[in-house]
Structure 1
Amino acid sequence: MCGVGFTTDNYLGLDRRGVLQSAPGRAVYAFSAADAGRVTVSLSFSTDSAELDLLGRDRQEDIVRVAFDGAGWEVPRLLKKMSAAPDLLLSSSRQVEMDRWSAGRVVLVGDAGYCAAPTSGMGTSQALIGARALALRLAESDGDHAAAFAAYERQVRPYVTVNQRHGREAAKLFGAG
């Protein structure tokens, strides 16, 4: 999944609310928050490349235009405004799935080991729950880090697995997958 964000003038007249337009493989979300004269725009689309954020801005904009080609509603106008936006940010994301969260004396917690995807809304919760579980397992392990790491993973992995599934399901609602 890839997302492009920028701000522009609030020509849509949104007042502390947003609008969502979604189609297979892509979604547009525009909302107004604190500044009634500005609107924040998010263009999300499905992609097989996790490296679009490494490209230059001109190439990124070309890819976004291709992804939203033929989209109706306000999309053509928003694409023009995208090019004029000084604060354009493109970010690619993928879900992290690992067989193990530890190797030797190194253990991963949170997004580094088990990102559920931005669409899950569970990144911070997973990180806090994982960190707490790891700390408790280390405290009760009597210095055996390998046993603590294994117990931590046994405890947290079922929770992460559910959240990863929810992240994939939610990404589909925003046009990914």
Structure 2
Amino acid sequence: MSYISFYDDGELRAYLFEKGLNLLQASLFMLLQSIDKYAEQNGNYSGVKTSNTKIGKELGITQRAVTNNLSKLQELGLIKITFDRSIPSNTKRTIKPVKLVKYTLESQISGLIGYINTFLNSIPENWDELDKDDPEIKEQVKNAISYFGSDKDVINYINANRDELANYDDFINWLSHFSTP
């Protein structure tokens, strides 16, 4: 996965609130993400290895609050917690925050055109594919994304309607419905 851009702090906080997190949970996630980013910049890609005590001191909360809020973040799929029990007397916990990214509309359009071309190339009788540099095609794909709400929803539609979109001409006809007058 190539990252287009990370959410800035304001966008990230708003996104986390939309997911139902409270201020403390959002702050905990953002702290874990910052620590993980720093570790990755220094060559450690395994995740955050710190105690609840240290996290609690940083956020001004109890160890129990840290435990409860880590559980909530894990339940929401925002972090993955693993335990290394290779030494029975010394279990080590690693917390890996999920990378939250946003993609530009341009990258979504390019990705969707690539997906459609891969789909078209999988059809034995088909010889044509969409021109990724054609402004009209790009505009139609952009309008399809807008109509469906996301590039993922367009892909889901394509997958659910494979019989109707069986060749290049069917795709061109379907995309023409998303042309601006």
If the length of structure 1 is used for normalisation, what is the TM-score? 0.29
Structure ranking higher on relative contact order (CA contacts 8 Å, 6+ apart): 1
**Which protein has the bigger helix share?**
2
**Which protein has the bigger strand share?**
1
